[in-house]
Structure 1
Amino acid sequence: MATPSLIALIFLLSALYAVTKSIYTRVHRYQKAKALGCRPPTKAPSGFLGWEAYKQGVKAVRASKILELMWNIHLEHGNTFQRTVLGVSAIVTTEPENIKSILATKFKDFSLGKRNQMFYPLLGDGIFTLDGAGWSHSRTMLRPQFSRDQIADVGMLGDHVDQLIALMPRDGSAFDIQELFFRLTLDTATEFLFGESTNSLAADKRSSSSGGGGGGGGGALANISDDQDFAEAFNRSLDYLAARIRAQRLYWLVNSSESRKMIKVIHDIVDYYVDKALARRQHATDQEKYIDSSSAPSSSSFSSKYIFLDAMARETQDRKTLRDQMLHLLLAGRDTTASLLSSSFFYLSRHPRVWNRLREDILSVFPPSETSPAAADDITIARIRDVRYLRQFLNEVLRLAPPVPLNSRWAVADTTLPVGGGPDGKSPVFIPKGQRVMYMINNMHRRRDLWGDDALEFRPERWEEKGKHGWEYLPFNGGPRICLGQQYALTEASYVLVRLLQRFDSVENAQPEIAEPRIRFSLTASHAFGVKVKVFPSEK
């Protein structure tokens, strides 16, 4: 049995080893950085172990001013700076060259860090949380399902947009269009993914959720959980994940019975659809075996319409894998498109000149007819491309209101960023293994040196002048992890805008007290106080 003196000696030697190793590592990294010509970035005040920075961040989140906080720090400390939160140091950058390095040229030097563990309770293992072979396998499995033919099929959207229009007041009353957009994209995403829509726009129950999207579940969802609101449970679960992110390495402390209850509601609903898809797959397999043995006529038990989950069930029959991937895609398919549409109306309601030009261009390609004001059957992706100002408009919305305004990576090896170091910010920055690097898309999209003196102004015409863009514009990420669903989001948003600007003559801002977006950021961005507008229908 070890004596107290022996235990003390072992403890002392261990501490001495740890200190010596730490000093050696620091000296080695210093010498390595110097040899590479690297210089440290400026440091933003953070308080002891970043405690003050954490409190500042929590306060900003509660006031829906987190992006304003990061913008002000950027203005004070430059395009690349270092900041510590709860003992975790982060290099924060808005430099296109650095972001290109993180996401593309030095892609293998960075990982998602603890994101998988932070998001696991809700999302499990999927394309947005895995690194390495797991991520590569997920992307290979999902990519074929986002083929151009599937994305270009807008027929499924028609009925949902009809329901959206039916809920929009025609008497000039103010309403929150963001709430309707979150319900719309939940309905369209669940139909695209599961083959059955939540039908939240058609539900009698109306409720507004904290994330901007509300609405009760309909159809099969209502049969599973009569007393639970699927959208509300989803939004509250995303808030829970956002709180785990803010807690940094202490993420595991953020847990509650309420969050577990919400997550179970979501898992039960998605499992219901996964089980249905697996049953259809098994039935189809049995039919094929029967046909092979008896030469009977062939008939597939899979739906004639495209169902994403059925296509995935042909790739894998693992129940958890299917559930996890569907949850990842539901998050992306619902939240990013709803954010884009909500921001579109935020700016349209404040810029009547843009509304008038966009509507004129839409009507020149899709004129409403006497018998069908919406002319929905004539709207195709090929014809939407003829409305050039629509794409310029969406580009500008995504510039000033990107659905994912900030993101981060962790270095898995000693590496460098090309710029950001030294007093002038032009020297390379040494990034040691284990260092967190955050990149601020929202701030980069507002830099005057990149976008001109009017960078903070909403002006879609800049895209006529700009032409092609580079890494200074990144609403859907870039490099190997570029968003698979960006064309899906742009297609749905374009179709919805065409339908709405066909139907309504004008829109008015019903929130004159809000001049600039007040963003509520959990995993994606939404408008903290909704997007309240008044719309006025056309005579036809």
Structure 2
Amino acid sequence: MVRDQSVLTQHKFAVTGVLLLGVTVLLDAARRFRSRRKPGDSIPCLPGAWPIVGHFFTLRRYCRENANLAMGRWAVDVARTQGLPIFRAALMGFDLVWVSDPDLTEEIFQGDPHRYTKDFSQMPLGGDLFEFSFGNGMFFAATGDAKWEIPHRILKTPFSVRGIRAIMPMMREQADKLVAALKRDVGHGGSTYIDAWVTKMAFETIAVCGLGTSFGCFEDDQTHPFIDALNETVAALDPLGRCPAILRPLLCRDLMNKYFASSKSIRDTCRDVIRQRRGAGSVRESRKDLLDMMLNDVDAKTGQSMTEDMIVDNVLTFLFAGQDSTAAAMGSCLCFLCSFPECKERLIKEIDEVVGNGQLEWDHLGKLQYLDWCLKETLRLAPPAPIILRQSTQAAEEQLLGGRWRMPAQMPVLINVMALHYSQALWGADAAEFRPERWEHGQPHKFAYMPFATGPRQCIGREFTLVEQKVTMVKFFQNFDLRPADTTQVEEGYVLVDHESAKHPPFLTIDTQVKKDNGAFLGFFSTFQLLERGQEGGPAF
């Protein structure tokens, strides 16, 4: 009897599967038939899609462990081998349009703002999870929503060039603490995995400069609990996002429990920061920082203040996006410089000539031209956000993109940043090479390079992170040189990127590692040996 029941259950599952497959095929055929009768061209759909999961298995061939790297590589490969400026692909039952043409990208970002927008809550995979964990801070809130507009207007001034100049000395202090901690815990001649250190630097800098709060990251060699909880939260987003929300309690119960616990932990940390500042009251006599503005300032346009939830969401946004993306960029830059030592030597020479052994000042930054080129070239070849999500907003009807391509209403659009950055048509035959000197002539197209997006939703922290990266690199190379460690092992939570067998970009000459789907942003890291600088400021080897 039990065996008969089991057979009957298997039969029901098989019938259900066949019915779902049949419905999927019929709906796709109906869509194709209707599209032939409308103006414009249908967006090409890539071959190789499976029922329900779509191109999931195709995507996994580019990197099984890191979704950011896989999506970037896939976009580069499609643009290179098939020459499609725009294509349609499906993932886990959701259709997505992928764009890698600079002119189409310009239309999406600078055209009618009511045509394309940013709204994480409408993400096809896991949008509800992002909102639960991170709320509606400026990075996640929908364009036009008061939860984005009010904080953006209140906080725009401190993120301006003038605002960053005022806090640059505080960045310098954090970089000095980083150097001191490296000398104490690693020492000249010692080896260390660099991600932990650039993460400490990025986290402490945004916490101290933006929120007036130190988490004591440089006091020992341990990772702060907030960063551990943040990594656990982000690591859960990908597998949970692939599972339909209604099935998560059944299929992902343990992961859901960990996700809820880590999400609560990071939000509780932010509430503690706010509570401590409120408790300080008028006792504080230091300069006004981001948290002061969030607590006390009003929006000049509406006269509204930020609500308690807005403040929590944006504190979390700064601690999350501010540290993860900056750490990823700095880690990648050091990997590229070690891969191409002639570039590193030229950079060290520039730092010696412009700054020497003295204190780094604001006026030095504009003279560090090669450093600027190295950072830009790193962000070109390893953009922390290889894909930028936008969404077609016209709910009632399709629209034409580029005067040609039929864009379905409410369709998610993925801008292939990495494909734009590796385009040989834009950057030349050597587009995949790390060559900072190419920046002497600027970028070939306004939308050929966009690691920070552009338009109203351009990263508000662009100047903050670029100045922080420059300060950190100068301080680091004033005190250390570095080379790949003789022996290394894959760190827990990371996956090896073997340079000798690399078929897809980025192409480095050393082995590196990327986070194993627990990083919201793409970055490359390695274990380096720290070397003492020579007496005359030259490399010690």
**TM-score, length-scaled by structure 2:** 0.78
Which residue pairs with 1:63 in the alignment? 65
Query: Alpha-carbon deviation of 1:506?
Result: 4.9
> Can you list the C-alpha shifts for 1:396-449, whole angstroms capped at 9, x where unaligned?
111001111112222111454645xxxxxxx72111112121111012101111
For 2:308 and 2:162, locate their aligned partners in 1 and report how far apart those are by CA, in whole Å. 27
Which residue pairs with 2:218 in the alignment? 201
Relative to structure 1, the CA distance from residue 386 to residue 247 in structure 2 (aligned partners, 3 Å threshold; closer, same or farther) is farther
Which SS does the other structure have where 1:483 is aligned?
coil
Query: Alpha-carbon deviation of 1:306?
Result: 3.7
- For 1:114, which of 119, 122, 125 is the aligned residue? 122
For 1:91 and 1:404, locate their aligned partners in 2 and report how far apart those are by CA, in whole Å. 17
- For 1:429, which of 405, 413, 433 is the aligned residue? 405
Which residue pairs with 1:188 in the alignment? 205
Paired letter, 2:530:
V
Partners of 1:176 and 1:533 within 8 A in 2: yes
Partners of 1:505 and 1:538 within 8 A in 2: yes
**Greater C-alpha Rg:** 1
> Can you list the C-alpha shifts for 1:292-343, whole angstroms capped at 9, x where unaligned?
xxxxxxxxx3341343111211133632211001111222210111111101
For 1:68 and 1:250, locate their aligned partners in 2 and report how far apart those are by CA, in whole Å. 32
Partners of 1:509 and 1:533 within 8 A in 2: yes
Which residue pairs with 1:384 in the alignment? 365
Which residue pairs with 1:404 in the alignment? 385
> Can you list the C-alpha shifts for 1:427-476, whole angstroms capped at 9, x where unaligned?
72111112121111012101111100000000000011346751011010
Which residue pairs with 1:263 in the alignment? 263
Paired letter, 2:456:
P
Which residue pairs with 1:230 in the alignment? 226
Unaligned runs of 5+ in 2: 1-26, 298-304, 489-496, 500-506, 536-541
Unaligned runs of 5+ in 1: 1-20, 207-214, 217-228, 285-300, 369-374, 420-426
Partners of 2:236 and 2:259 within 8 A in 1: yes
Paired letter, 1:360:
K
Query: Alpha-carbon deviation of 1:68?
Result: 3.1
Partners of 1:274 and 1:319 within 8 A in 2: no
Paired letter, 1:390:
L
For 1:272 and 1:486, locate their aligned partners in 2 and report how far apart those are by CA, in whole Å. 27
Deviation larger for 333-342 or 462-471: 462-471
Which residue pairs with 1:220 in the alignment? none
Partners of 1:185 and 1:333 within 8 A in 2: yes
Relative to structure 1, the CA distance from residue 85 to residue 534 in structure 2 (aligned partners, 3 Å threshold; closer, same or farther) is same
Which residue pairs with 1:440 in the alignment? 416
- 2:161 is the counterpart of 1:148: yes
- For 1:136, which of 149, 158, 164 is the aligned residue? 149
For 2:193 and 2:476, locate their aligned partners in 1 and report how far apart those are by CA, in whole Å. 15
For 2:49 and 2:411, locate their aligned partners in 1 and report how far apart those are by CA, in whole Å. 17
Deviation larger for 333-342 or 122-131: 122-131
Which SS does the other structure have where 1:442 is aligned?
helix
1:321-332 counterparts in 2 under 5 A?
Answer: 321-332=310-321
Partners of 2:423 and 2:431 within 8 A in 1: yes
Paired letter, 1:349:
C
Which residue pairs with 2:99 in the alignment? 93
Relative to structure 1, the CA distance from residue 202 to residue 138 in structure 2 (aligned partners, 3 Å threshold; closer, same or farther) is same
Query: Alpha-carbon deviation of 1:189?
Result: 1.4
Which residue pairs with 2:533 in the alignment? 538
Which residue pairs with 2:275 in the alignment? 275
> Can you list the C-alpha shifts for 1:50-82, whole angstroms capped at 9, x where unaligned?
x15234546755433513344334434433211
Partners of 1:163 and 1:202 within 8 A in 2: no
Partners of 1:98 and 1:417 within 8 A in 2: no
Relative to structure 1, the CA distance from residue 518 to residue 445 in structure 2 (aligned partners, 3 Å threshold; closer, same or farther) is farther
1:319-468 counterparts in 2 under 5 A?
Answer: 319-368=308-357, 375-376=358-359, 379-413=360-394, 414=397, 416=399, 418-419=401-402, 428-466=404-442
- For 2:176, which of 159, 162, 168 is the aligned residue? 162
- 2:264 is the counterpart of 1:307: no
For 1:262 and 1:96, locate their aligned partners in 2 and report how far apart those are by CA, in whole Å. 39
- 2:475 is the counterpart of 1:470: no
Query: Alpha-carbon deviation of 1:348?
Result: 0.7
Percent identity reads 22
Relative to structure 1, the CA distance from residue 201 to residue 58 in structure 2 (aligned partners, 3 Å threshold; closer, same or farther) is farther
Which SS does the other structure have where 2:425 is aligned?
helix
Which SS does the other structure have where 1:90 is aligned?
strand
For 2:91 and 2:244, locate their aligned partners in 1 and report how far apart those are by CA, in whole Å. 8
For 1:197 and 1:47, locate their aligned partners in 2 and report how far apart those are by CA, in whole Å. 49
> Can you list the C-alpha shifts for 1:164-212, whole angstroms capped at 9, x where unaligned?
2234334433321122101111111111232111121222x52xxxxxx
Query: Alpha-carbon deviation of 1:148?
Result: 2.6
Which residue pairs with 2:111 in the alignment? 105
For 2:29 and 2:342, locate their aligned partners in 1 and report how far apart those are by CA, in whole Å. 62
Which residue pairs with 1:127 in the alignment? 138
Paired letter, 1:84:
A
Relative to structure 1, the CA distance from residue 246 to residue 405 in structure 2 (aligned partners, 3 Å threshold; closer, same or farther) is farther
Paired letter, 2:210:
L
Query: Alpha-carbon deviation of 1:345?
Result: 0.2
Deviation larger for 478-487 or 132-141: 132-141
Which SS does the other structure have where 1:106 is aligned?
coil
Which SS does the other structure have where 1:461 is aligned?
helix
Partners of 1:99 and 1:439 within 8 A in 2: yes
